[in-house]
Amino acid sequence: MNHNVIQSNRLVDKPKKNQLHKMIIVQATSQHVPALANMAKETYVENFAHHYTAEKLDAHVAKQYTHAQIQADLDNGDQVYFLCNDTDPGALNPLGFCQTRCKAPSQVSLELSVEYPEPCWEVRRCYVLRGNQGKNAGSLLFEAVLSKMKEAGAATVWLLVLNENIKAQRFYEKFGLVNTGRSFFYNAGPTSLFVKPIPH
């Protein structure tokens, strides 16, 4: 994927009342690390706190979502973060984020060792802060990220969704991702593999 700064706007045809109709999508750089770290911690706690004891949750968040870890992801070039905002072109106060990487399911676990057309892009995390949900921000962000993956030459997009998270599954199905029925146990519980071929 081109690691230059990327920005795009998209208008929906008939935005509903109180929903966003425009979204600015920015590829994250070093200046976004503090905002990314804070948002990653907050959204993880919002979505997964009930799977952990307070002690284990604190330990996991402290290890995974540090400034140093996110900066290392950006420096290594194997992780690409996108931020979204409806008014701020720099996205320094983002509404949500999406973390992606070019990796096949079989490279993550042998349990997912089914061959898909390559290159494969994984959506590792895609979250909107709870206070900004219900405004169409997640849909605009995810659609823009799919477009960026296609531009990068992706032949397959995939992700893992907790089996219990029916709402998220329905969300990704809206964008053409299909539950393959293959499962993988993640930190927070059993997940299902969702896949979408990208036509060119």
User: What single DSSP character describes residue 89?
Assistant: T
In this prediction, residue 142 carries a pLDDT of 94
Terminus-to-terminus CA distance in the chain, angstroms? 16
pLDDT digit string, tens, across residues 53-64: 888 888 888 888
Comparing C-alpha atoms, which of 79, 77, 74 is closest to residue 100? 79
CA 44 to mean position of chain CA atoms: 12
In this prediction, residue 15 carries a pLDDT of 43
Based on its alpha-carbon atoms, the radius of gyration of the chain, rounded to whole angstroms, reads 16
Comparing C-alpha atoms, which of 1, 50, 18 is closest to residue 133? 18
Report the DSSP pairing between strands 120-128 and 156-162: parallel
Burial of 180 (0-12, 13-18, 19+ CB in 10 A): middle
In this prediction, residue 125 carries a pLDDT of 92
The pTM (predicted TM-score) of the whole model is 0.83
Structure-model confidence comparison of residues 114 and 95, the more confident one: 95
Rounded to whole angstroms, the Cα distance separating 4 from 23 reads 19
User: Residues 70-98: what's their mean pLDDT?
Assistant: 86
**Contact assessment for residue 47 and residue 65, using Cβ atoms and an 8 Å cutoff:** no
* Residue 16, CA distances (Å) to 8, 85, 140 in order: 21, 18, 13
- Does residue 10 carry a pLDDT above 60? no
pLDDT digit string, tens, across residues 142-186: 998 999 999 999 999 999 999 989 999 999 999 999 999 888 777
* Residue 185, CA distances (Å) to 62, 68, 114, 188, 192 in order: 22, 27, 16, 8, 9
Share of the chain above pLDDT 90, in %: 44
In this prediction, residue 19 carries a pLDDT of 61
